[in-house]
Every structure is written in C-alpha cells, then in structure tokens.
Structure 1
C-alpha cells in the first residue's frame, strides 16, 4: 500500500477522493436532519424520494454526461463536478420545501455521476502496472468502508458543539478541498479517440459492457451484491433496534461489523489476486455472500434469531464477501476496453450497478414490511444465488487469455492484421480480446 501511495499523482487523487467522501458522509446526516425539520414525521418519505432521485440520476445521467464531456479536459471536468457539488450543498441550508430538496439532490447527484466514472477511468492511466492498480482499488475500497464508519461518528461529534446547519459547511469544504487537490494535479492526457456521433458516444460503453462475457458476469454479480447489500443497508436498523431491542449505538456496531469485514478483506486482496484469478476470487465471494444471507434467513425463519454475537459475525462475513466481489471489479473494467473507451465503460458499470440497487432497495423494504425479516433475508439470498448462477453461465473461464479469432471484414493490409495468417478466406490471429471498432462481437468458436 505504501508503494502506491508514494506515487504523487495518485496520492493527491486519493486524498481528493477521501475528503470528498467525508463531505458526502456529513451531507447524508445533515440531509436527514433537514428532512425532519421540513417534513417532521414524513421525513422518511422525503428521504426515500430523495434517494430514489439519486439512483435515477446515477442510472440515467451517467452515460449521457460521460458522452457530453468525452472531449473535455478531465481535470476541468473533475473540478467542475466538485464545484457544482459544493454549490448544491451550500444551497441546502436555505431551502424550506421538500421539492427544493429534490431539485438540489438531482443537481448534486448529476455532478457525482460526472465525477465518479471520470475519476475511476483516470486511475488505470495514472497506475498502468496491474499490481499497483490492484492496490489502488483496495485503498479505494478501504476509503469507502472507513467513510461509512467514521462519517456518522464525526457528524455526531460536530453536532455536540455546532448547529446542524454547519454540517453542510463541512460538506462544502470537503468538495472545495477535493477540487483544490485535483487542480494541483497533472493528469495524463486523454487517449486519442475517433470523432463519433453523440448517440454512439452515449451507448458505446453499454454496448461494449454487454458484449463482453466477463462484464456480463460482473453485472450478474452486481445483482448478488445489491440483493444482499440492500438487506444490510435497509434492514440493519430493524435488526438492531427491532429484533434485539438495541439502541442507536447497537446499530452503529452492527454496521461497523460489516465495514470491518470489508476492510480486512480489502487489505488482504492484493496478495490474493497475485495468486488467484479475478474470476475465482469474485465467484467465491459471491457464493459466500448469497449462502450466508440465505442460511441466516432460513435460521431466523425456522429457529428465531441467534445471539447478538452471531449476528455480528454474519454481518462481518457479508462485508468480507462483498469486498471480495467489488474490489477486483475495476481490474475487469480496465482489462475490457482500450484507454479511449474506459470512461464510457466505467460509466456503464456505474449506471448498471446502480440500476440493480434501484430495484433492490424498495424490494428489501417492501418484503421486510409485509413478510418479515426471515422470509425477506431468505428471498434476497436466493436472488443473490440466482445472480451467482447466471454469472457462472455468462462468464466462462479464461476470457482474459489471448483468443484466436478470424476477420473477414477487414481489407488486406489493415494495421490490425499484422502477423495474421490467411485461412479459408479469412484472416486468423490471437490476442487479448476486447470489443472495439475491429471486434464487434465476442468470438464463440475461436
């Protein structure tokens, strides 16, 4: 980890990510307090609509905005996104109606849907070595987990000495600091790209994503992650305070166990991925994630809740399995597109993964309210298992190896055919395969 942090450009970008995440965490707490001030007992409804708007913005706007900024300087794009987020957060304390929250959340999350895929696509170019990039992914996973653990505590600490409105000031400062760090960072120039029509730029990332077997497998695993993760994020409060009659502190401990499991695995993964293929690690994590949730649900359904310590271990295991799936996912995306297409493919992952969450969140909430936690955990675990089975079907082994394939659509002398041999009227060669302008479909028979 120290080796990758010694890289000056990555170190500044990582610091920008961490600071922006802390700001986002403070915003989450402040938004809840603001919703209660405006809507009182209806605050949950307001927050539910706001979170739905967030997910819709992520799903619908990320590919569109990525296409719009495709030719722009990436540093300016990142800084502009941070400034828009800071402006939206600065305006939140001055609003006095629920609809105004919805408008500002849409603006805020549209900026986040711009920042995140652009940021994620830059890192593989800053760290071209796969080992360094793997360690960067682990650090990024750690940053998300630690933010989930520390931001609520930091917000609680600040609220002991400051008014709630000052939490928005902390959010604004976080985004401004992130923009300042990016401003002082020299990012690699964009890879040369062809001039494409706007509609093609909008859809290109999704087309590459859905035509690539390992990324179709990743999408199936996103189903598993969102189905099980929705239980953790939506129903943990019901487990801690309803099933066990605990306090807010117990809820924090339960979520902390989930975060701790994720942190421990993220720390170990770089060495594991040096020895095992991404597909093996991710499938093991997915099988564990679905199995733990399914078994926990059946246990609750048939025998009642186990002890509090056992529940903490279950949540820690869920966090560990989740990290085993999500941490290597950036390696798959990096490997599946040329540099010019990486922003589009990261935007596709951003949109498609959040589409899974958009379905999983209300499903976990509605099933829990009508069928009880035991049935809901079992059903969501079963959905997660279905995602694993689908991933095994659509993602065969060895898709990262050089694949022999033929071209009958390229003229003789085309640069891509250098070294190819002529067989039965077609040009045949082998290389690491990605979907691009010369390869429109994945070869099925070599």
Structure 2
C-alpha cells in the first residue's frame, strides 16, 4: 500500500492531508473547551449548533465551490482555501462571544466544503492506475481513523504545557503546512470544453450524480452509513457513561474499537477489491454494519448491554462502515470525466452530509426518547431500507457497455466511430445527458 508514496505529487498531497487533519483534530478539542469557557453548562448546545452550522455549510456551499473550481486553477484554489482556514483558526483564540464562534465556524466549514471535494477529485487525476487509486483510498481512510485516535492524545499532551486557546495555533499551523506542501507540486486542472452558465455549473454535479444508476445506489449507501454511524458518534458517550456508569476513558476505548474495525477493513480492501466487484463489497459491508447494529439492539432488549459487547459491535460496524466508504471514490472517479470530477465529488460531499444532517439529530432524539436498544433497532431498520434501495438502484452490470443511438448526431461524428447504434460504458456528459436505454444491435 505504501508503494504509492513513491509518486511525489501524491506523497505531497497525502502529507498535506495528514497535517490538515491533525490541525482539524486539535480544533475539535479546542472548540469544545472554548464552548465551555463561553457558555458553561450550555456548552453542549453551543457545540450542537456549531455542528449543525458545519453540516449546513457542507450541504449548501460545496456545489457553489465546485462551480468555481471549473474556472479556477485547482492548485491555486486549494492553497487559497487553506489560507482562509488558517486565518479563521488564528481568529478563534480571540473570540469573546458565542455568535463569533458561529460566524467563524461557518467560514471555516465553507472553506472546507470547497477544499475537500476538489482535493479528492485531484487524486484520480494524479494516480491514473485504478489499483494505485484504490490503495490511496485505503490510505486516506487509515489517515482519517488514525487522526481520530492521535489528535485527542496530542491535544491532551499539549494541554499539559499550554492553554486551550493555543491549540488553535496548532490548527493554523496544520493548514499552513498543507498550503506549503501544495505549493511544491503541480496539479492537473482539466477544464470543460466550453464555458457553462453559472446555474448549470452549480447544479451539474448533483444532476449528473442523480442520473447515474450506480451513484443513486451510492446515495442509498450514504443513508446506510449515516444511520449506523450517527448512532456510534452521537450516542457512545450516553451508552457508556449513563448506561454503564463507566469513566470517560471507556468512551474513548469504545470509539477506538469502532476506529480499529474501520482501519482493519481499510487495510484489507485493496486486495479484496481486486477479486470482487465494488457493488458486492459495498453492499456486504452495509449489510454487516446493519446486522451488527440489529444484534446489539436485540441484546440490549434481552439484558443490560455490557462494554465488551458494545466494543465488539462497534468494531464490526466500523468494518462495515469502512467497506462502504473506502471504495466510493472509485465509483465517483469512474462516473465522471476529468473536467466534471470536482462537481461529482462535490455532489457526493453535499448529498452524504445531507444524510448526516438528518441522522445526527434523529439518533440523539431516539436515544433520549426510547433508550439505546430501541434507538439502535430503529436506526438499523432505517439503514436496512437504504440497503434495499441500494440493491435496486445499482444495477449489477452498471460498468458494462450499453448499446444506444444518437439520432441527434451526424453519421460522421467522431463519437460514433462509424457505428450506429454503438456501445460503451455510460458516463453522464454533454453527449449522454440521460442514462440511455439499451438499444438492440
């Protein structure tokens, strides 16, 4: 897996991701402490509002940023957004009012909503071999999980010698490091063949996404991982602290079990995806996560949930979660031409976070109203509905050539190559604005 780091451009991209993630992790800890300093017992409300603002920024800003990406040098855009994020991080230690936190978080997450899809869309342009790209996706998933484990420990170590506000300077350093690494490389910036109106550029990614059958299946799988993932992220602290009366360290261990399952799955996926289709692996991963959640729910109804059972269940759910998310970049890369990739990755970013925006509050409400067992069962049932939808929306032969006609094109058009009808795998674009029906040959 590490052999792909021999590619200098990708190596610098990956290092930029690592330092930015580390900075973001420090900000997560520092933001919680800042909320407590400003709001005391109302800190949870402040953080909940900040998370909602984050999701709203992700859902609304990403398509607009993708429209800008078509007309902008991608490397300059990424560096500029890193500098915006750095500037926000520098401002955070000086805030004195809660509303200032909300404004800065919106700016910060808006910049991230532009940065992340464009960054992700650049990787398949750099690693054009699909095996290398698959390894990069697994490495990226490992980086995310390691950051979730390492950043809190780094923050705890720093807090022994510095104040909580100083952590934001670490965040700023992370974004500055990312920008400096991006300065050292050249990134491909494929441009559309003809300029498009602003509205078309803004909505093109979501329209192309929803017109592609396998991506409609991916959206249903986003629903699945949001349902099971929200239960883990939102309610682990309640299950462990209130339900089991265990210390804070046990919360960290439970979340580490989820991350460990995800990391193990990510390490195994490159070889697995060489033998099995993406559809099989991703549907199986979703089914695994749902089954683990349902079994935990039934166990909670039978007798009080133990920490050992919860940790094992969280690890299995983490493995299924990663098996769905890690290969998703391959689907997106295959479903768009290079010029359209930022828009399609932005559509995935927007639509997947819309699912999280639904399930974050829903999982919290279910837990508060009905308890752990009922919440897990309800979310498992909602996730199962998403899995059924994914199976129906994502055809088994979605990568196969489709015989179709272009009655609007002249017989000598280069795309037809002298054949009418003709066949090739379908990517939604200007020549194929809708997924065509199979035409008899």
Displaced runs of 4+ in structure 1, greater than 3 A? Answer: none
Distance 1:194 1:30 in 2: 45
* Aligned positions of 1:245-264 closer than 5 A: 245-264=245-264
Segments of structure 1 that go 5 or more residues without pairing to the other structure are 421-426
Distance 2:391 2:349 in 1: 22
Return the offset for 1:68.
2.1
Contact in 1 for aligned 2:281/2:324 (Cα 8 Å) = yes
* TM-score when normalising by structure 1: 0.97
Return the offset for 1:404.
1.4
Secondary structure of the residue aligned to 1:415 is: coil
The residue number in structure 1 matching 2:232 is 232
Matched, 1:288 2:288: yes
Matched, 1:211 2:204: no
The residue number in structure 2 matching 1:423 is none
List per-residue Cα deviations over 1:328-353 (Å, max 9, x = no partner): 00000000011110000000000000
CA RMSD of aligned residues (A): 1.0
Return the offset for 1:444.
3.1
* Aligned positions of 1:17-416 closer than 5 A: 17-301=17-301, 303-416=302-415
Return the offset for 1:295.
1.9
Return the offset for 1:307.
3.0
Match of residue 433, structure 2, among 437, 440, 444: 440
List per-residue Cα deviations over 1:80-122 (Å, max 9, x = no partner): 1110001001101111111100100000001101110110110
Distance 2:191 2:124 in 1: 12
Secondary structure of the residue aligned to 2:245 is: coil
Distance 1:7 1:305 in 2: 51
Secondary structure of the residue aligned to 2:405 is: strand
Secondary structure of the residue aligned to 1:416 is: coil
Distance 2:283 2:304 in 1: 28
Stretch deviating more after TM superposition (332-341 or 434-443): 434-443
Corresponding pairs, count: 439
Secondary structure of the residue aligned to 1:430 is: strand
List per-residue Cα deviations over 1:290-338 (Å, max 9, x = no partner): 111122112212x123432221110100110001000000000000011
Secondary structure of the residue aligned to 2:227 is: helix
Segments of structure 2 that go 5 or more residues without pairing to the other structure are none
Secondary structure of the residue aligned to 2:424 is: strand
